[in-house]
Amino acid sequence: MTPRNQCGACGEDFTSVELFDRHRVGVHEYTITEGLAMDPPREDGRRCLAVHEMRDRGWAQDGSVRWYDPVRAARARMAFPPSADEAETGVA
């Protein structure tokens, strides 16, 4: 499997750049580690969502272990129904 949108920080892979961007949270000016070293400590630095946080948001992993948003995928399927050829063969 070739990574498509793999995070260099946490190693997780995503089916879209949008989802990759959404998994990075916090203030852009400093990392979570840098924020915790401040006086007083700040816990709002840039970080990756933990696996349980991504699951809590309803995200799932596909057969290639890439994270995707099932709600967004369902909306895309509704917006782009299969062509007549795909509907006949059952292949998308």
**Mean of per-residue pLDDT scores for the chain:** 89
State pLDDT tens for residues 73-82: 888 888 887 7
State pLDDT tens for residues 37-55: 999 999 999 999 999 999 9
Structural domain contains residue 64? yes
- Number of structural domains (the chain) is 1
Structural domain contains residue 5? no
Structural domain contains residue 6? no
Structural domain span for residue 64? 13-79
Structural domain contains residue 89? no
Q: Range with the lowest mean pLDDT among 51-55, 63-67, 81-85?
A: 81-85
pLDDT of 84 reads 62
Structural domain contains residue 1? no
C-alpha to C-alpha distance for 18 and 24, rounded to whole angstroms: 10
Structural domain contains residue 92? no
Structural domain contains residue 65? yes
The answer to whether the predicted template modeling score (pTM) of the entire model surpasses 0.85 is: no
